Amino acid sequence: MGEQQHVKFPQEVLDEYASLGVDLPALFSAGHLGNRMGVQIVEASAEKVVGTMPVEGNTQPYGLLHGGASAVLAETLGSIGSMLHGGVSKIAVGVDLNCTHHRGARSGLVTGVATPVHRGRSTATYEIVITDEQDKRVCTARLTCLLRDVTAKDAGSVPNAGSVPNAGGSGA
């Protein structure tokens, strides 16, 4: 669960990361937490990121989708969009996340779609709309990420960070 096998990336983005030897689908995956929660990234570009998550296994005691699970899906999708916007020399770090929960979901899959609200040089903000299988809105979230330069300290967590411009500087 959570493997990123069929993510659609724009070809120019795949080419840019491949030239650095970076496995883009692995780098922009749901991460360990997202994998445990069953998050699947379906499509990813700086203009739109789409992902799904099962309700089952991600519920609160009343059997409804946990608000924190919606937050994990939202932050995952918004962070991926921010990273793709920032490019290979930047890392996106979430600095603000807010979620409004509109209705409960008890079963099936929820789908999140992240679209940019603002894409600047130092920050990126994405709106994430999460819907149920009947296309009813479950949650609306907004994530703002700081875009900081990749540094030498990032070498252990970012593949080929040492080959990225500005990787020798100090971190934030």
Catalytic residues: 75
CA atoms within 13 A on the CB side of 101: 12
Q: Which two tokens stand for residue 170?
A: 């100090």
Whole-number Cα distances in Å, 83 to 29, 106, 135, 141: 11, 32, 27, 18
| CA count, 13 A, side-chain hemisphere, 19 | 8
Q: Which of 126, 137, 144, 148 is nearest to 65 (CA)?
A: 137
Residue type, 116: P
10 Å CB burial of residue 139 (0-12, 13-18, 19+) is buried
Nearest to 82 by CA among 5, 154, 33, 146: 146
Q: What's the CA gap between 50 and 42, in Å, rounded?
A: 5
